[in-house]
Amino acid sequence: MKYDFIQSHSSIFAVKKMCEVFKVSRSGYYHYIHRDISNRAIENSKIVEKIKFINKQCFGVYGSPRIYEVLKDNGFSYQKPLLALKEAYLIQKNILKTSLLLRLVSALKRITTYLVVKYLYM
């Protein structure tokens, strides 16, 4: 996102020069930074928060089908593909961990505990 870069570096470089380099208009940049948050962005953030909450409650074991069922049981109706995309985005951003990763960590903890106990008392 060109506008995000310009906004984050506006204290270092001149906005006018960065707009020229990225071949965007200054008026477009200023319109971008002063715009309201869209309804879709607000709805997406609500979905993400619900997914994070459910994932935290179930210790990261639920995938998108189960999350969909929990949301449906609580009166929320979203499409399964939309939830899968949101969950994939959260996993990619390392906000949610995959259940496989959690299982591996759990197994490593058990093995480590076993080895420590075995060699400590031998």
pLDDT at residue 11 tops 80? yes
Amino acid at 105: V
Is pLDDT at 51 greater than 90 in this prediction? no
**pLDDT reading at 19 higher than 70:** yes
Residue 92 pLDDT more than 80? no
Q: Which residues, in sequence order, are CB contacts of 20 under 8 Å at separation 6+?
A: none
Calculate mean pLDDT across residues 78-106.
61
- For the chain, give the mean pLDDT: 75
Number of Cβ within a 10 Å radius of residue 41: 10
Count Cβ neighbours within 10 Å for each residue of 18-32 and write b for 16 or more, e otherwise: bbeeeeeeeeebeee
Of 6-10, 31-35, 50-54, 75-79, the range with the lowest mean pLDDT is 75-79
Provide the whole-model pTM: 0.47
Is residue 83 within 8 Å of 67, Cβ to Cβ?
yes
pLDDT of the residue at 24:
92
Region 27-50: mean pLDDT is 83
pLDDT at 118 over 80: no
Q: Who wins on pLDDT, 29 or 94?
A: 29
- pLDDT for position 84: 63
Higher-pLDDT residue of 41, 79: 41
